[in-house]
Amino acid sequence: DKAGHKHFMSKEIAEQPGVIGAAIGHYLTPEGQINISTQDIDFTQFDRIVMVACGTASYACLTAKYWFEQIARLPVEVDVASEFRYREPPISPRTLAVFVSQSGETADTLAALRYCEGKAARILSVVNVPESSIARESDLALPIHAGVEVGVASTKAFTCQLVVLFALVLKAARDRETITAEAFADHISSLRGLPAIISTALEQNDTMQEAALKLSHARDVLFLGRGQMYPLALEGALKLKEISYIHAEAYASGELKHGPIALVDEHVPVVVMAPRDALFDKTVSNMQEVMARKGKVILISDSKGQAEANDGVWFSIEMPPVPDALAPILYAIPAQLLAYHTAVAKGTDVDQPRNLAKSVTVE
Ligand code: F6R
């Protein structure tokens, strides 16, 4: 049932304030603590995390790497499952292995999990389907509470994965005493405010549609982001390729001058994801390099960022302000809506893109 929407994907995008709220409700206690017990997982037992997943779920892992390293001071390695499983990576006994999967049935992710059995200190999964193979074979499975996701392109599962991973990071920071009580409380109240901010972003739907109409004529699109916004650039590019069939690539903004800037001319839209955070000026200078080569920039930023830097850009998309750490969750919304409206403008099969399956149970 599409609940009045043209596609499951738009229904699932619109559901995000609700399901993110549900996920937050499951992982925060009324007293403002993280609802994951130390019997279940104790981060003082690990000195390293490996995170393994495929596709969009791997971008959730990559985002969590920035959080784990900055907030909980734990080193994290992220790998795509198809590479991890055959590389025979050494897993030291104080390693926590984390597997993220919407379906819980992805063959490569499951094989990677089995490889870690008997090697890692603990096997944790973050899944949407609690009865799935990956959930059953983990020491601990954390459900994301996104509800059934029908659209092949993952949307609400991604943002709910991020919410659960963020809660896990806060638990890690508490266990490892890398966070002050005050900073912890700030993050908790930021999380509680997130559903309302996501709703505000969804109100920008018409602006996203306008930007998508422009994108729909492109043959190639670049996405740029720096720091924790880099994985979001990857996610934006993947969503666009999957459902609109436009060739899209993402780069860490700082990598631009090491090659990809050679691609930029007046035909290449460049989507820049840049909330006004500590790295904003760096990203803006990369964006200006693009504009100097006549690249058409779509700047996604908050009102402060737009006011400082949208001179000469092709199109601006204004996001509501958000606490820095949670910006990746918010900026998933424009990534999804740009891809969605571009696909609709091109008339592709949004919910069932060619050559793709919802659950990849063969390698
Ligand atoms: C992208 C997408 C895929 C999946 C990937 C992993 O929109 O849906 O990249 O994220 O196939 O699937 P799960 O999460 O079920 O393991």
With a 6 Å cutoff on the Cβ, whether 134 touches ligand 1 is no
Dist. CA 295 → ligand 1 center (Å): 31
Dist. CA 363 → ligand 1 center (Å): 13
Dist. CA 314 → ligand 1 center (Å): 31
What pLDDT digit, counting tens, does each position of 284-302 carry? Answer: 999 999 999 999 999 999 9
- Confirm if 352 and 242 have CB atoms less than 8 A apart: no
Q: Atom 3 in ligand 1: which residue has the minimum CA distance?
A: 55
Counting from 1 in the atom list of ligand 1, the atom nearest the Cα of 239 is: 7
Dist. CA 57 → ligand 1 center (Å): 6
State the pLDDT at residue 189: 98
* φ and ψ at residue 121, rounded to 5 degrees: -65, -35
- Confirm if 61 and 34 have CB atoms less than 8 A apart: no
DSSP string, 187-251: HHHHHHHHHHHHHHHHTTHHHHHHHHHHHTT-SEEEEEE-GGGHHHHHHHHHHHHHHH--EEEEE
With a 6 Å cutoff on the Cβ, whether 229 touches ligand 1 is no
Counting from 1 in the atom list of ligand 1, the atom nearest the Cα of 56 is: 10
State the pLDDT at residue 361: 87
With a 6 Å cutoff on the Cβ, whether 58 touches ligand 1 is no
Give the separation between CA 136 and CA 139, rounded to whole angstroms.
Answer: 8
AA identity, residue 66:
Y
With a 6 Å cutoff on the Cβ, whether 132 touches ligand 1 is no
Dist. CA 275 → ligand 1 center (Å): 26
With a 6 Å cutoff on the Cβ, whether 57 touches ligand 1 is yes
Counting from 1 in the atom list of ligand 1, the atom nearest the Cα of 109 is: 16
Counting from 1 in the atom list of ligand 1, the atom nearest the Cα of 152 is: 8
For residue 294, indicate whether it is catalytic: no
Q: Atom 10 in ligand 1: which residue has the minimum CA distance?
A: 56
Of 227, 235, 237, 211, the closest CA to residue 296 belongs to 211
Give the separation between CA 330 and CA 350, rounded to whole angstroms.
Answer: 22
> Which of 56, 125, 132 best tests ligand 1's pocket when mutated (most atoms within 8 Å of CB)?
56
With a 6 Å cutoff on the Cβ, whether 54 touches ligand 1 is yes
Dist. CA 302 → ligand 1 center (Å): 29
- ipTM of predicted assembly, 2 dp: 0.99
> Which of 103, 340, 356, 361 best tests ligand 1's pocket when mutated (most atoms within 8 Å of CB)?
103
What angle in degrees, to the nearest 10, is found between the helix axes of 16-27 and 181-202? Answer: 160
**Global pTM value:** 0.98
- Confirm if 190 and 323 have CB atoms less than 8 A apart: yes
Query: How many of the other CB atoms lie within 10 Å of CB of 144?
Result: 31
Dist. CA 114 → ligand 1 center (Å): 19
With a 6 Å cutoff on the Cβ, whether 162 touches ligand 1 is no
Residues of the chain with pLDDT under 50: none
